[in-house]
Amino acid sequence: MHLLIDFTLLLFLCTQANSASMDTILAGQALAVNAKLVSKNGRYALGFFNKSSSKPSQDTTNWYLGIWFNTVPKFTSAWVANRDTPIKNTTSPELTISHDGNLVILNRFTKSIIWSTQENITRNSTTAMLLSNGNFILTDSSNSSEVLWQSFDHPTDTLFPGAKLGWDKVTGLNRRLVPWKNLNNPATGVYCYALDPSGLNQFMLTPLNSSIPYWSTGVWNGEYFPSIPEMKVSNPVFNTTFVINDQERYLTVNLVNKSMVTRNVMDISGQRKAFIWLEDSQDWTMIYAQPKLQCDVFAICGSFTICNDNALPHCNCMEGFTITSPMDWELEDRTGGCSRNTPLDCISNKSTTHTTDKFYSVSCVEFPENAPKLEAAASASECAQVCLRDCSCTAYSFNDGRCSIWHNELLNIRALECSGTSSPTGETLYLRVSAKDFHGVKNNRKGIVIGVATGTCVSALVLFALVVLVMIWRNKSKSSSHILDGVQGCNRIIAFRYTDLQQATTKFTDKLGAGSFGSVFKGFLNGSVAIAVKRLDGAYQGEKQFRAEVSSIGAVQHVNLVKLVGFCCEGSKRLLVYEHMSNRSLDVHLFRNNSMILSWTIRYQIALGVARGLAYLHESCRDCIIHCDIKPENILLDDSLIPKVADFGMAKLLGREFSRVLTTTRGTSGYLAPEWISGVAITPKVDVYSYGMMLLEIISGKRNSWAPCTSSGNLDVYFPVHAAQKLLEGDVGSLVDDKLHGDVNLDEVELACKVACWCIQDEELDRPTMERVLQILEGLVKITMPPIPRLLQAIA
């Protein structure tokens, strides 16, 4: 009996010696594949993981030692020790402390070292600990304050709150961020975020093996980086500090709210991004991206591609090319680009006197900044011949009498939105392709003869087939132009075919504008009825859900809301068809000198109409609809200058969180309420804030970013602050648009200013509802003098 007890106790002690405690590994202990360390606050975990299943599993090939967000149910890595040396499944790895005091990953069977901290440690015993800030440290067991090695000195793609990013001048250590290779591979990616190696106090985004930036923060001016003006404002999420001394130059980012879970990452996309974890959606929401446009990233699509910021996906192969590695593209690594379907004729026959290669024209594109070689040529055809004579020439362009020749790989070709048929923007590139891949080439003489000979024989069959196709088309036309019964039984929404909308909009050539959720094109039904067709970006619901949401939006009808006429839902295509507003959007009349000047009476009626429309959305619909993107561009004016709110219901069609992302990253930040980036659930008060900002612009006729000259000549006054100050001084007349020449009702101006300043208060509880705003503007409810919002004071 005693022998059994002794054996059990011995087994227990051995087990304890070979397993790590909650957040610490001591000498003689080991961390196996199925175990993990957890920081004291529970926020971070360290252990072995594989990306194929996003959690430990015996069915995958490669294992990595890393740190991840322990409180986030969606596995999200933040640091990887052996990113470029994956561990094979058969190795059965373990993390332990070696006899020389270093942390090592061992093969449990052979005891060979797979990864090590490789420090010159002269200590008898060391301890490894995962701290609450996510830093994994190695310390002397007898002096825990002495850090011998730390993961913060070796970041991978994520910057932890409080970690340093930059140079240690003493040791030469360069802390920088490098993204993953793709979604499933943490290996070193192709981009880098680091301090300028030239010594300037700025951070740069560059290709990993290049010092030429495609985006930079600008040089630190003592208070902020010029390319990040948000740093001037009291940020509700991050506090950023840049330190310069004799030993170091580095940046740190700390959280204002310590309980908030954030992720500051160098993304596979080549962009620096910041995310907040939202419990209500159980997902990460992006609040920041630099550069904002995906196509600004150097060679993000690889060679022989066209990058389009206004389309999803952003990258597409050029004509005659196909994706080099479809698997990598699926994992969001498109830097491998595209490869030719057929080799050029000049490569196949080595002829310098004759080639069958052709040129495919690519219009409305922007060329890369690196200039091509210029050749002497008097015409476009002569320029083409210059290219054909050189087998390394892959494309040419001829503009303003200049012949430009591109050699070998084509990178950074960018699609632009053509502005209609009259004067398309951008330039035309002539891409060299094999004759086999040139779709515009006509059949050769032999093919034509065969076609003529056989044409007579099959003419009867062709005629019969045409009759059948016409009958099928008519049946499809009848079934595809069906009417959806609305929720209230009165909204008749037409389901259009994509080809019909292509024809109505002349293949989407007459672009009216572009917003956060897609581009809008003018069209005509039956040749006379004007419509506006919005082509949605990012609407990924299934057809049944999309139709249900469209029907729900179609039921929302009000004189101050743009009427939804119909929709299109074919494959991945999602389009909405609205009534066309002849007087375009409010911003055109407020901010452009060559447009109609709106009188004060009209402006006040527009403010009332928008308030009525928003109050209806917030309080009179069966389900409260939050617009999420109120600004002058989304207020349309009809023939009688009656305002109509456009783009309502986008959050329902695209998902509330997707709308948040688009609005914060692609919309105009001047209209965003502070809570948009604070991570809390949004309410209708975000629309109230945006309405207040827009109301100031209606009064002044200028963008809120306009800075009035003060007596001291200072041009840094933010207009909302200036307006609030003038309101307190009783001088609202100076805020009114100069184009009105003083022909205004000053009582209405003062009332509108007070309403605007109450709407843009920092705390949503301090803002009125849209129903109350309407009552105030109509003179039914009195209003007191508002305080200047603290956030605006900080901006000032």
Strand, coil or helix: 6: helix
Contact 483, 493 (CB under 8 A): yes
What is the spatial distance between Cα 337 and Cα 329, in angstroms, rounded to a whole number? 9
Residue 387 main-chain phi, psi, to 5 deg: -65, -45
Residue 138 main-chain phi, psi, to 5 deg: -120, 120
What is the spatial distance between Cα 682 and Cα 659, in angstroms, rounded to a whole number? 12
Helix (H) or strand (E) segment spanning residue 195 = strand 191-195
Considering only the C-alpha atoms of the chain, give the largest distance between any 2 of them, rounded to a whole number of Å. Answer: 105
- Name the residue among 646, 663, 534 with its Cα closest to residue 586: 646
Give the dihedral of Cα atoms 656, 286, 40, 100; nearest 10 deg: 150
Taking each helix axis as running N to C, give the angle between helix 685-700 and helix 746-759, from 0 to 180 degrees, rounded to the nearest 10.
150
Does residue 629 have an active-site annotation?
yes
Residue with tokens 């959690």: 55
E strands, 217-357, in order: 238-244, 248-255, 262-266, 272-278, 283-290, 305-307, 315-317, 321-323, 338-340
Residue with tokens 């090592």: 104
Residue 582 main-chain phi, psi, to 5 deg: -65, -30
Contact 689, 678 (CB under 8 A): no
DSSP per residue over 359-411, as a string? EEEEEEEE--SS--EEE--SSHHHHHHHHHT-TTEEEEEEETTEEEEEES---
Residue with tokens 């006899």: 99
Q: Which two tokens stand for residue 638?
A: 């009809």
Q: Which two tokens stand for residue 725?
A: 């100050």
534 annotated as a binding-site residue = yes
Q: What is the DSSP letter of 781?
A: S
What is the spatial distance between Cα 752 and Cα 736, in angstroms, rounded to a whole number? 11
Q: Which two tokens stand for residue 306?
A: 């066209």
Amino acid at 235: N
DSSP per residue over 461-502, as a string? HHHHHHHHHHHHHHHHHHHHT-EEEPTTS--EEEE--HHHHH
- Name the residue among 195, 188, 137, 130 with its Cα closest to residue 164: 195
Handedness of CA 244, 247, 248, 252 (dihedral sign): negative
What is the spatial order of strands in the sheet that 238-244 belongs to? 165-168, 248-255, 238-244
Q: How far is CA 355 from CA 82, 346, 384, 398, in A?
A: 51, 6, 12, 21
What is the spatial distance between Cα 621 and Cα 637, in angstroms, rounded to a whole number? 23
Strand, coil or helix: 433: strand
Alpha-helix residue ranges (DSSP H) falling in 484-638 = 498-504, 543-554, 586-591, 600-615
Residue 232 main-chain phi, psi, to 5 deg: -70, -25
Contact 702, 739 (CB under 8 A): no
Q: What is the DSSP letter of 329?
A: H
Catalytic residue among 345, 629, 687, 762: 629
Handedness of CA 540, 544, 545, 550 (dihedral sign): positive
Non-local (6+) Cβ contacts of 150 within 8 A are: 135, 136, 137, 138
Handedness of CA 395, 399, 403, 406 (dihedral sign): negative
Catalytic annotation, residues: 629
Sequence ranges of the binding site for ATP: 534
Residues annotated within the binding site are 534
